[in-house]
Amino acid sequence: MLAGRRLILSRKRFITNYSIPFTVGLMGSVALFFSSNLLFDSTIPFSPAVLILLAIPATAIALFLNQYTALRLKQIDTGLSKENNYKFAKIALENLQWEINVDTKGYIETFNPLGDITTWEDQMISIIIDDNVILINSICNVDSIVLNQSAFSLGKNRQNVRRFLEQFELASSNYVSIHSN
């Protein structure tokens, strides 16, 4: 689940997460294989088609790196106990009306069901809870039956993290203000 501040996916989720870069890479490899005579034949003049053929593997690498870095967990220092972090995380998720899929005292996996034109699908938010810290990540739903769109979240995952943190801070500050009186 966690390794070096990165979310570790199950085999099925891993395959889904990297399906787009793999498909683009495979298509690029096949195209390069069948057009290798264009690339390495010195009698044929250089053409824009060669650039397109070389851009496909570069695009696959860029998509892979995007997917890989999306699994990074954001660390939030809260200064609160694990129990309080869990309590305020639950309040934040309730306020956001996100569907909880997995719920243990140290890990919550939830889905933001409000997909829109930018993502076409819901997003999976993973929250790891410990003393003084919360680690959070949002990626497009890797359990979806729709082709994984996570390479194209267009800021929705960053927005999910920001919205959760706003709700978490609101819940914890309300608790502190009520109990300090």
Task: Name the residue ranges covered by the structural domains of the chain.
Answer: 2-69, 74-180
Highest mean pLDDT among 20-34, 84-98, 100-114, 142-156: 84-98
pLDDT beyond 80 at 141 = no
pTM of the predicted model as reported, rounded to 2 decimal places: 0.76
Is domain 74-180 in CATH 3.50.50.60, yes or no? no
Across all residues in the chain, what is the average pLDDT? 80
Question: Phi and psi for 21 in degrees, rounded to 5?
Answer: -60, -35
Q: Buried (b) or exposed (e) across 43-77, using 16+ Cβ within 10 A?
A: eeeeeeeeeebeebbeebeebbeebeebbebeebe
| Apex 68 CA angle, 62 and 70, nearest 5 | 105
Q: How far is CA 26 from the centre of its chain?
A: 23
Q: What is the pLDDT of residues 119-131, one digit of tens each?
A: 556 788 999 999 9
Can you read off the two tokens belonging to residue 47?
Answer: 């053409």
